[in-house]
Structure 1
Amino acid sequence: MQPEEKTIMKPGFSLSITLDAFNKRARTDDCLGQVAAISGESIRIAREMNAEKLIFKARKEQTVHLLEKGFVLEACIPGYFLGSDCYLFSKYFTEHRRNSAFWTKEDLILEEVTKLKRKPEIGSLPVGYGARRAVLEDADDLAALYSAVFEIYPVPMNDPEYIKKCMGKDTVFFICTFGGKIVSAASAECSAVYHNAELTDCATLPDHRQFGLMKILLSRLEEHLFENGTFCVYSIARSLSFGMNAAFHQLDYTYKGRMANNCYIFDKLEDMNVWVKNLA
C-alpha cells in the first residue's frame, strides 16, 4: 500500500500532506501561510483517515503554536529547509501509539552506541564484492533483497514497480553485489526544493553483515550528494538496532531525537532514532 501525497490550497494557507494508511499516520511535509489554519486542517485530515499519529515538519516560528495545540517535539533536523532547521512534532490520537514499550531499552542501546569511537574512515570492499549505483534493471533484485531482509517495511519495497517509481522521483540507490547478486543496498531520497536528503532503505543479507558493506554504501551516497550540492543529510534508524545506530554514529552523524511508534518495520511498530550530518 503506497502512501498518498496531497497538496491542499485554501484561503490563507497551503500544505503538502502525506496520507500513510499502512502505518496509520499522516505527515505534514510542507506548508505556507497561517499556522493555526494549517495545524487545524492537518488534524482534521488525520482524524478523517483514522490516523493514530500526525507528524508535522515545522519551522522554528511554528513551534510555539504546535506546542499549544498538543503536539510533542520529538526530533530536529538542522539545515533541512535550505539551511533553516526542521522540528519534527507529533500529535497522537491513541494511547497505545503514544506509549513505547521499549523506550528505556533503546536509551541503553543509544548510550552504548555513543561510547563507540567515531570511525569516519571507510574500509575497502572485500575480495569478490562490488559497489555501484543501481539502475532501473536492478529493481527486481532490489525488491527480492528487501523481501528477504524485512518481514514488514513502512513502504512497499518488495514491489519492483514501486522501486522504479522511487528512482524516477529523485531517489538514488547504491548497491553491493557478490557473485552477481545484490547483497546490500541503501538509498538517498533527495529534495530538489530544499536540497536535503534522507538516507534510507538500508538492508544487508545476514550472511554479508560482517564486512561493513553498509558504511561503504552510505559513504558512496554521501559522495554523490556532496557532488550534487546536497549538504543536509539525515536518516531515521530503528531504535532497537544497535548495528544501524552504531554505523551512523561512527560515520559522524549526530543523534537528534527519537520518534515514538513511528512506523511498521522489521516485525512490528517501532520507535525510530533521527541522525543528522552536515556534509559541508
Structure 2
Amino acid sequence: MIAQSRWTPYWQAAPMTLVFAVFFIVPLIATFVVSFWEYNQYSIQPAMTGENYTEIFDGCIAGLPELCTIFKTYLSTLKFAAIVWALTLVIGFTIAYFLVFHIRTLTMQIILALVCTIPFLTSNVIRMISWIPLLGRNGLVNQALLGLGITDQPLDWLLYSNFSVVLAFVHLNTVFMIIPLLNSMFRIDKSLIEAAYDTGASGWQTLVNVVIPLSKTGIAIGSIFVITIVMGDYITIGVMGGQQIASVGKIIQVQTNFLQFPLAAANAVLLLVTVLSMILLLTRIVDIRKEL
C-alpha cells in the first residue's frame, strides 16, 4: 500500500506529461535538429552543419558599426514588445485595481470582469481587422477629424504604421495582463490597505508600498504572456503594418513560405532562446512558484 500511494501522483500526472511531451517537447527537438540540416531550392538533406546560423548573422561583423538585418529585426521586435508590455501593464493594472478595490460587491466585480474578458473570446483576426475601417484613410476616425476641422487632410499614419501595430497588439493582449493581476489583487488582504491608511499613508504611498509589491506575481505572469505572444506574432504585424514592418516572426513565416525550413528552424531556435532568456530574467526577479 505504501508503494502504491507513493506512485499514485506520478500516474495521475502521466497523461498530461505525455501530452506535453508529444505536442511540445518533441516539436522543439525536431525544430532544433532541422536547424542543422542543409537545404537548397529543391530539397532538404539531413546533416549537422552550422551554416544556417552563419547565414542568419551573415554580414553582422563586416557591417559594423552598422547593425545587420537580424539585429535590426530583433531590435524592432523587442521595441514592440517593450511598448506593448508597458501599455498593457498600465491598462491592465488600472482595470484590475478598480475592480478589486473600488467595486464593493462580488456580483458586480464578476459582471465587470466578464465584460472585460468576454469580448476577447472572439477571433483575434476579427478584432484586428475591425480597426481597418476605423483607421483607414477614408475611415471613421479620419472622417471625424476632417468633419471637426482638426485636420485638413486624412492622417496616413493611423493605419499600416507602427502606431496601428501597437494599437492592435494592446487591444489583443491586454486581457492576458488583466487576468493574472485580478488573481493577485484578489489575494491581497484588505486589512493591509486599511492599516496603511490608518498609519497616515497616502493613496499613492499605499499603491507603491502595498498593492504593487503584493501584485508582483500577477505582473510577472502577465508580462510573460504578453512578451511571449508579441515576440512571436507575425499576423498582427503583417496585417496592421501593411506587410511593410519587419519582425522575427515575419522572417520565419517568409522563410517557411519559401520552403527554407532549416533556416526558419534556426531563426525559431534563436527566437526561443531570446524569449526564454527574458522569461528567466522575470522569474529571477519574481519567484512565481514561491509567491503562488
TM-score after normalising by structure 1: 0.24
Give the structure with the larger strand fraction. Answer: 1
TM-score after normalising by structure 2: 0.24
Give the structure with the larger helix fraction. Answer: 2
Greater relative contact order structure (CA < 8 Å, 6+ sep): 2
Structure number with greater Rg is 2
